[in-house]
């Protein structure tokens, strides 16, 4: 019996199945504005049958962009650019979600196909911020250690972004607290050496994420789910651990978070990551069981049978697909055919002739 196609209800929102599209930067925006690329890319995955589509890391301030070509949501014009895309995703049965992000000390880099290195001032780069004045890597800028005023400004930017996400038609928001970006960099002693209330003990290192979450939850409608993506381990001795992620997940649940999206890594180079199929699934399982909150599993999930087993065996409540969905936007339809014998309602009538 397959369970991958069971609906999943989070607050007032029901996903048609347990397959989500993981947030993936497209590095294709100008001035943070979503455009035709985003419509076609995200729209195709809605037509392909995904239950949830999480729009790429979407910057809450211009300085919070990973690259000058990231999508942003720091003004109403940005929300206006996203609205037709959320409408299309909904029309084709997918729940539109967006990942709200600030890249912190990893901001201001060129897009991967332009080399991915930090961008100089002359080429349009900018000064960056982080918990401490510790650069991500040798060639990176040294971040300015954030002042209390800057912490408040970033919290306000996340909450304004959530308000705009609602106005843009999103039904789900994910806070990006993974991959070495701003919030994760507060969690990890590798990037956070503060001596104030935001550094040192576990309680202090998670304070900023909890405050951001509280401000977002306060403006995000009660009937819409809130997700948080965590790097569940740094994979580095002396870094952030799974045990700390479980403890943070419990606190996030108390703040009204509905699901933890379980990723890992990204705080520093040189981490030893065992990239075998489903290598992050144990994190989703541990947090689901020990923190009592719904989880998403992500990372090297490429086969319909494996995705189904993750749900059926109770390792996670849903799966998120990254690169496999770039290879095949119709993965959900294909998985339904393989597991159920037919793509059923996931196949739009425009495509029925192909399968008659």
What's the CA dihedral at 144, 147, 150, 156 to 10 degrees? 140
Question: Can you say whether the dihedral through the CA atoms of 335, 338, 340, 345 is positive or negative?
Answer: positive
The 231-260 site mask, x for binding ligand XEN (CB under 6 A), equals ------------------------------
CA distance 285 to 38: 32
If binding is defined by CB under 6 A, does position 266 make contact with ligand XEN?
A: yes
**Closest residue to ligand XEN, Cβ-based?**
266
56 near ligand FNR (CB under 6 A)? yes
Q: Taking CB under 6 A as the rule, which mask of x and - marks residues 86-125 in contact with ligand FNR?
A: -------------x--------------------------
Q: Is 108 in the site for ligand XEN (CB under 6 A)?
A: no
Q: How many Å apart are CA 20 and CA 261, to the nearest integer?
A: 11
322 touches, from ligand XEN, ligand FNR, none (C-beta below 5 to 8 Å by class): ligand FNR
DSSP string, 14-31: EESSSEEEPP------BT
As a whole number of angstroms, the distance between CA 54 and CA 41 comes to 12
Name the segment binding ligand FNR (CB under 6 A); options: 78-86, 89-97, 232-240, 315-323: 315-323
| 3-class DSSP assignment, residue 174 | strand
Active-site residue, from 27, 140, 181, 198: 181
Tokens 């503060």 correspond to 194
d(C-alpha 90, C-alpha 319), whole Å: 19
β-pairing verdict for 318-321 and 19-21: parallel
CA angle 9, 12, 13 (to 5 degrees): 55
Of 298 and 347, the one with the shorter C-beta distance to ligand XEN is 298
Supply the minimum distance, in Å, between the C-beta of residue 262 and ligand XEN: 13
User: For 131, phi and psi rounded to 5 degrees?
Assistant: -65, -40
Among 169, 189, 199, 299, binds ligand FNR (CB under 6 A): 299
Question: Applying CB under 6 A, does 178 fall inside the site for ligand FNR?
Answer: yes
Query: Residue 320, interface with ligand XEN (CB under 6 A)?
Result: no
Residue 351 annotated in active site: no
Kindly tell me which of 25 and 343 has the beta carbon lying closer to ligand XEN.
25
Do 260 and 252 meet the contact criterion of CB atoms below 8 Å apart?
yes
Q: Kindly identify the residues of this chain, within the stretch 170-189, that bind ligand XEN according to CB under 6 A.
A: 179
Binding site for ligand XEN (CB under 6 A): 25, 57, 66, 179, 265-266
Residues labelled as active-site residues: 181
């Amino acid at each position: 019996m397959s369970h991958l196609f069971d609906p999943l209800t989070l607050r007032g929102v029901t996903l048609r199945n347990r397959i989500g599209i993981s947030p993936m930067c497209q590095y294709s925006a100008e001035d943070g504005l979503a455009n035709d690329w985003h419509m076609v890319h995200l729209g195709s995955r809605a037509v392909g049958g995904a239950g949830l589509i999480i729009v790429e890391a979407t910057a809450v301030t211009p300085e919070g962009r990973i690259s000058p070509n990231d999508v942003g949501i720091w003004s109403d014009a940005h929300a206006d650019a996203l609205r037709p895309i959320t409408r299309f995703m909904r029309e084709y049965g997918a729940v539109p979600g967006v990942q709200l992000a600030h890249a912190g000390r990893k901001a201001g880099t060129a897009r991967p196909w332009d080399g991915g290195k930090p961008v100089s001032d002359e080429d349009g780069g900018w000064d960056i911020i982080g918990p401490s004045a510790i650069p991500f890597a040798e060639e990176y800028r040294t971040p300015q250690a954030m002042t209390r005023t800057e912490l408040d400004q970033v919290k306000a930017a996340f909450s304004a972004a959530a308000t705009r996400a609602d106005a843009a038609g999103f039904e789900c928001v994910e806070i990006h607290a993974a991959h070495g970006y701003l919030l994760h960099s507060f969690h990890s002693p590798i990037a956070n050496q503060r001596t104030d209330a935001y550094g040192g003990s576990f309680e202090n290192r998670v304070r900023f994420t909890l405050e951001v979450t509280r401000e977002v939850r306060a403006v995000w409608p009660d009937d819409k789910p809130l997700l948080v993506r965590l790097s569940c381990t740094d994979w580095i001795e002396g870094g952030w651990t799974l045990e700390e992620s479980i403890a943070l997940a419990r606190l996030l649940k108390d703040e009204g978070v509905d699901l933890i999206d379980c990723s890992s890594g990204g705080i520093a180079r040189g981490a030893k990551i065992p990239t075998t199929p489903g290598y992050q699934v144990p994190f989703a399982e541990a947090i689901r069981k020990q923190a009592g909150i719904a989880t998403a599993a992500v990372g090297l999930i490429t086969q319909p049978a494996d995705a189904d087993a993750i749900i059926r065996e109770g390792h996670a409540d849903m799966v998120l697909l990254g690169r496999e969905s770039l290879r095949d936007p119709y993965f959900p339809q294909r998985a339904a055919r393989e597991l159920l014998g037919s793509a059923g309602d996931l196949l739009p009538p425009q495509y029925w002739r192909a399968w008659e």
